[in-house]
Chain A
Amino acid sequence: MEEFSAMVERIAGVADKANVNAVFGEPKEVHGRVLIPVAEVSYGFGMGWGSGSTACTCEGDDEACCCSEEEAATETCCCDEEEGAGSGGEGGGGGSGARVRPLAYIEVGPKGAKVVPIQDEQKIALMGIAMGMWCVGWIGLVLKSLLKK
């Protein structure tokens, strides 16, 4: 279970770092201007764990094998060690991830501050190509329908 506890602590560490103050970065001076980076921060984590045990079963007249119901729930009560009856186990797993997407930066000058948005041009270009194909498809469909005799 030590590994599992370590994993939980590591995941909790990721969540702590991705707090509200991670959205606005530290002010930086670039070429005489003060810039404050602004980003959208998302994170997620999930984990699961469980344990189980195999209860003993008493078969035949083997008195030594029998145990009470309370004992049967524990892994120490074992009728047949060779077959592993009465053994128990536990395990867990999990994962986490975080994403930071730059949105804008705040430029602080002598006349005041202004917010300069940042565009993801690759995403916009891909969407533009998809939209162009969509429009061409629709126009083609309409023309085909209109010109059909």
Chain B
Amino acid sequence: MSGISTTTRIVAGTPIEAGGRRFLPSVMVTTLEHNTAGHIFQVRRMRPVSVIEEGADIKHWHNIPDATQNALSQMAAVALLVAGMGLLILLLNRFARR
């Protein structure tokens, strides 16, 4: 499919003032778009990456984790591991019986 383009970039958001501190957010923007005569589509995903906290004498970098995605990824990894181990045992058992 020609004409479909995907771009990913990190964009700085508008600074937020809260509790006497200043927060500088950054967002990862992934865009999938297609634009030709007669039809157009665009899908955009904006995921927060980090926020920098600026105080009077401090400057901290806070990562923003996707806890749900991390938990699901860990479960998927365990499921793959179980399947791999099971397959290995089945193959070893088959060789042992020969």
Across the interface, do B90 and A142 meet the contact criterion of CB distance under 8 Å? yes
Pick the most buried of B19, B47, B58, B66: most chain A CB atoms within 10 A of its CB.
Answer: B19
- For residue B93, CB closer than 8 A to chain A, the reply is yes
- For residue B71, CB closer than 8 A to chain A, the reply is yes
Across the interface, do A20 and B46 meet the contact criterion of CB distance under 8 Å? yes
Within 8 A of B (CB), among A116-145: 117-120, 123-124, 127-128, 131, 134-135, 138-139, 141-142, 145
- For residue A42, CB closer than 8 A to chain B, the reply is yes
Residues of chain A within 8 A of B48, CB atoms compared: 23-24, 38-40, 103-104
Within 8 A of A (CB), among B9-34: 11, 13-14, 16-19, 21, 23, 25, 27, 29
- For residue B3, CB closer than 8 A to chain A, the reply is no
Report the number of A-B residue pairs with Cβ-Cβ less than 8 Å.
149
Q: How far is the CB of A22 from chain B (nearest CB, A)?
A: 7
- A135 vs B65: C-alpha distance in the bound complex, in angstroms? 28
- Contacts A124-B72, A141-B90: A22 and B46 contacting too (C-beta < 8 A)? yes
Interface residues on chain B, size class: 35 or more
Residues of chain A within 8 A of B23, CB atoms compared: 24, 36, 106, 113
- A110 vs B43: C-alpha distance in the bound complex, in angstroms? 40
Pick the most buried of B27, B58, B90: most chain A CB atoms within 10 A of its CB.
Answer: B27
Instruction: Select one of A47, A49, A139 contacting B86, CB under 8 A.
Output: A139
- With A42-B43, A49-B39 given, can you name 6 additional A-B contacts, CB distance below 8 Å? A15-B42, A46-B40, A47-B40, A113-B62, A127-B75, A146-B93
